[in-house]
A and B are shown apart, each in its own frame.
Chain A
Amino acid sequence: MRDKTMTADEAVSRLRDGMTVGIGGWGSRRKPMALVRALLRSEVSDLTVVSYGGPDVGMLAAAGRIRRLVAPFATLDSIPLEPHFRTARERGDLDLTEVDEAMFLWGLQAAANRLPFLPVRAGLGSDVMRVNPGLRTVTSPYDDGETFVAMPALRLDAALVHVNRADRRGNGQYLGPDPYFDDLFCEAADTAYVSCERLVDTAELTKAGPPQSLLVGRHTVTGVIEAPGGAHFTSCAPDYGRDEEFQRVYATTPWPRFAARYLGGDERAYRAAADGGRS
């Protein structure tokens, strides 16, 4: 059986400028931050990022790596407005494909199912149609005759997700209350990199949780990265909650200073700085 384990830097080394990268989690919840930090250490740029946005979007935007963002929002949850996303938008630094939460989901579903689009009852009447002039509509061929938005597939070159446990083959397990859409991101992507809090033997997986907690299937996974604290400072229930104090540091420190202080070194250096750098 193939061993898919690799380091975060190895995973990121497979990404190329201009790729479309989907990032799992939701807002400031179970974001693959260790992979995002590795991406920030690399030179990869000009990305189209597809995300239910949180600090992943904020950091990549602040570092100038995003050419286009596809998202329904960006938030830190306990801090409603993502500060660097805001700055990037107000400066005109990134192109935005702003779609509704359900349209986004249908786009991933379409990609995972190899459909060009899926009809969705969302978007019509709103300015989502004005700011996305490429969106088309479709009329039901049945008696109801209703018109829907034909949400195009959000096909991804790569997906980055973070889960609680995984085995070396790429089976990923979530142990918190919400799977978010991490399985779908992997299914919608040509390649998928799954980081985990802890790498375990396959037999250990169903000891930690029921079979339905096995969210990500190895047939959708390219690489597995063991990254304890890999969602920090976002939440990763039940392993840890959001680090609210550090999130405040992130939200209130000017980006160049934050990057220099916390992101200059590897993951170990980040954890040491984050643990020691509290006011």
Chain B
Amino acid sequence: MTEAMTEATRAEHCVIACAEEWRGDGEVLASPMGLIPSIGARLARLTFAPELLLTDGEALLVTPDGTVEGWLPYRRHLTLVTGGRRHVMMGASQIDRHGNQNISCVGPWERPVRQLLGVRGAPVNTLNNPVSYWVPRHSRRVFVERVDMVCGVGHDRAAGARYHALRRVVSDLGVLDFGGPGRTMRLVAVHPGVTVEQVREATSFEPAVADEVAVTRSPTAAELRLIREVIDPGNARAREVAG
């Protein structure tokens, strides 16, 4: 017997919430942007979603122990996107109630107050393969009334987009889906210790709230061991989400 695991941290609950996004996806590429989604994807692959494909962050498809099982340079990665065989979890510098996401710039596009990454692949992602979002710091600066530059396409702008599939938004406070009125954001779960009021406070718009807001499940003992001893022994996750 190893010594008893301490209770799961907020970061570890976030890992679980992210991992759950890929449950049931089958043989598709799990494409996590950000550290906690990456841990979540590997956890899902090691436990309840063994069919998932994972990359080494460069051009190779690898099994969890690092064995190379395929070749995925950018040109083929883009075909996975347009072929729909991928579920990406992107970040968001800004996101609105409809799921419009911005990673390009803050302020007027013509001359930004703060230039960020650029649109990258957010437009093609959102029109072609399932998309979830990860926000490590749930705040009014991120959850905004209007994004400054629509990169990822939200529900109100996706008419006629046959493969548009926004799943959910996972933050350090909870999980939101798009089950609100007019397919807007709706709070469906909070992480242990978080209140619905806290989420409302940290959101610029008024999110819909599910009739019964769930509490994010805790990792099982086996999952906790995988997170702490196999996937992230250096506890880098605590630097992305404290507590």
Contacts and interface: CB of A to CB of B under 8 A. Distances in A.
B120 A73 contact: yes
B90 to A, nearest CB: 13
Contacts, number: 124
B233 interface: no
A126 B119 contact: yes
B112 interface: yes
Contact of A102 (B71, B105, B118, B121): B121
Contacts of B124: 100-103, 120-123
Interface in B112-155: 112-124, 126-128, 149-153
A179 B157 contact: no
Chain A's interface size range is 35 or more
Interface stretch (B10-18, B158-166, B173-181, B217-225): B158-166
Nearest to B116: A81
A146 B162 contact: yes
Interface of B: prevailing SS: loop
B197 to A, nearest CB: 33
Interface in A102-116: 102-103, 105
Interface residues of B, number: 43
Given A75-B117, A89-B105, A125-B158, A180 B123 contact: no
Given A147-B160, A178-B73, A180-B74, A125 B127 contact: yes
A179 B73 contact: yes
Contacts of A101: 78, 120-121, 124
The 3 A-B pairs of least Cβ separation, nearest first, read A73-B118, A122-B124, A125-B153
Interface of B: 58-60, 71, 73-75, 78, 81-82, 104-105, 109-124, 126-128, 149-153, 157-163
